[in-house]
Amino acid sequence: MAAKPAPASEGAAPPRHVAIIMDGNGRWAKKRLLPRIAGHKQGVEAVRRISRAARKLGIEVLTLYAFSSENWRRPEEEVRDLMGLLRHFLASELDELVSEGVKLRIIGAWRKLSPDLVAMIDGAVARTANNPGPTLVIALNYGAQAELAEAARVLAEKAKAGEIDPAAIDEALFQDALDTGDLPPLDLLIRTSGEQRLSNFLLWQAAYAEFLFVDTLWPDFDEKALTEALDQYGRRQRRFGGL
């Protein structure tokens, strides 16, 4: 069962779990009169940069919103390019993740992706499964509403089979049925590019997370920006409904 967060009376303790909605690749490219794929390529560079920075700054879990279940509505060519960049990222970064002791996790309906990509992800996750270090979580074909519906379905099936008492289903049991059930509670959720919405990302997990919306476009987000975000988080008081 995932641990519950504890209130902090004087500011916030350092975040264990940080999630980022990586937004602004297209606008970054448009500002430079470049094709959207150029923005996505720079976005991948930002993933590398922030993944390394998070490890340096002691973040235990970094969750990145890479591809939502709604992103299939984008032009077919752009979706194909994004999947190609994902393949490239896995191939080029896996050795470093292994050597750095990083555990790779994928959440979402990623098994609905193409079979070759699913096999590639399976191999990457397996290679890092026993790593002792921080966890990099990538949300692929992810939608929080679908995650909640799936958790409800799983618990309903268990109740129907007599494995659990329906009366025993509470917040903790429901949380354990989520993709992130064994991870630390979400402390800080950052969205880049100036947009201020969750876009169907970690709706349950964000219940008591601190939100930070920054104007920086994702390809320009760097260690300095992440450090500033952590500094802002550290000045907040998290009471979780208490005084």
Q: Which residues are catalytic?
A: 23, 71
Is residue 141 a known part of a binding site? no
| Spatial strand order in the sheet of 210-213 | 103-107, 135-142, 61-68, 17-21, 188-191, 210-213
Is residue 239 a known part of a binding site? no
Task: Classify the phi-psi angles of 233: left when phi > 0, otherwise alpha if psi is within -120 to 50, otherwise beta.
Answer: alpha
Counting Cβ atoms within 10 Å, is residue 66 exposed (0-12), middle (13-18) or buried (19+)? buried
- Cα gap 198→202, rounded to integer Å: 8
SS3 content of the chain, % helix, strand, coil (to 5): 50, 15, 40
Is residue 51 a known part of a binding site? no
Tokens at residue 113, please?
């992706």
Is residue 197 a known part of a binding site? yes
Is residue 82 a known part of a binding site? no
Determine how many CB atoms are found less than 10 A away from the CB of residue 102: 22
Is residue 36 a known part of a binding site? yes
In 3D, which of 202, 204, 3 has the Cα closest to residue 108? Answer: 202
Is residue 70 a known part of a binding site? yes
Is residue 40 a known part of a binding site? yes
Is residue 28 a known part of a binding site? yes
Is residue 10 a known part of a binding site? no
Write out the binding residues.
23-28, 36, 40, 68-70, 72, 74, 191, 197-199, 210
**Positions at the binding site for Mg(2+):** 23, 210
Residues annotated in the binding site for substrate, as ranges?
Answer: 24-28, 36, 40, 68-70, 72, 74, 191, 197-199
